Amino acid sequence: MSADFLKDIFKQLDKDGSGFISADELQEALSNGSWSAFNPETIRLMIGMFDRDKRGHVSYENFGALWNYVTDWQKCFRNYDLDNSNSIDRQELQTALTSFGYKLSAELLDTLIKKFDRIGAGHVLFDDFIQCCIVLQTLTTAFKAHDKDMKGVITIDYEQFLDMVFSLTI
C-alpha cells in the first residue's frame, strides 16, 4: 500500500482534522455488510491495539498497521464465508476456528455464537467475527502463559483467575 494512498484514507477518516482517528471516526468508516453500526466493542479492541499513547485514538504513525490489520481480517472473513452470505454461520465458524488450531466442543461453539451474534440471527457478521477471534486470542494467550507443561490444564489462584478473565472485559 503506497504512503499517499494511506494518507488519503487517513484524511478521509479524520473528519475533525485532529490528526488522530477516534473510535467514532473509525466506526463510521467501517462496514459490517449490514445496515447496523459497526460493533463498538470491536472498534474499542482495535483502537486499543494501535493506540500507543493510550488516549483512545490512533495517530497517523500507527494508522498503517491498523489499516493492514482490518484488511487482513476482511480477507480472513471472506475466506471462511464460504457461501458469500456476508456472515459466518455455525459451520463456517467451526471451520475457521479449527483452522486457527482450536478444538472446541459443540457447547462452546454455541456459547460463542450466542455471545457474539449481536443481531440474534444465529450467525456472526464481520465485526462480531473479529471480536470473537480477538477475545479467543486474548484468553488463549493468557491461558498459555500459565500452561507451562502444555497439558491444557492450569492451576491458578483467585487473583490470577480474575486477572485473566478481566483481560478482555470491562
Binding region for another protein (CB under 8 A): 54-56, 104-105, 107-108, 111-112, 115, 135-136, 139-140, 143, 147, 152-159, 161-166, 168-170
3 state SS for 7-35 = HHHHHHHCCCCCCEEEHHHHHHHCCCCCC
Q: Within a 10 A sphere around the Cβ of 130, how many other Cβ atoms?
A: 27
> Which residues on adjacent β-strands are paired with residue 85?
none
Look-up of cell digits 456472526:
124
Between 54 and 75, whose beta carbon lies closer to another protein?
Answer: 54
DSSP output for 76-99: HHHHH-TT--SSB-HHHHHHHHHH
Among 62, 144, 63, CA closest to 101? 144
Q: How far is the CB of 74 from another protein (least distance, A)?
A: 24
Q: How far is the CB of 159 from another protein (least distance, A)?
A: 5
Quick check: helix, strand or coil at residue 162?
Answer: helix
Q: How far is the CB of 13 from another protein (least distance, A)?
A: 21
Between 12 and 111, whose beta carbon lies closer to another protein?
Answer: 111
Between 15 and 115, whose beta carbon lies closer to another protein?
Answer: 115
Between 75 and 101, whose beta carbon lies closer to another protein?
Answer: 101
Q: How far is the CB of 140 from another protein (least distance, A)?
A: 8
Q: How far is the CB of 65 from another protein (least distance, A)?
A: 20
Between 6 and 154, whose beta carbon lies closer to another protein?
Answer: 154
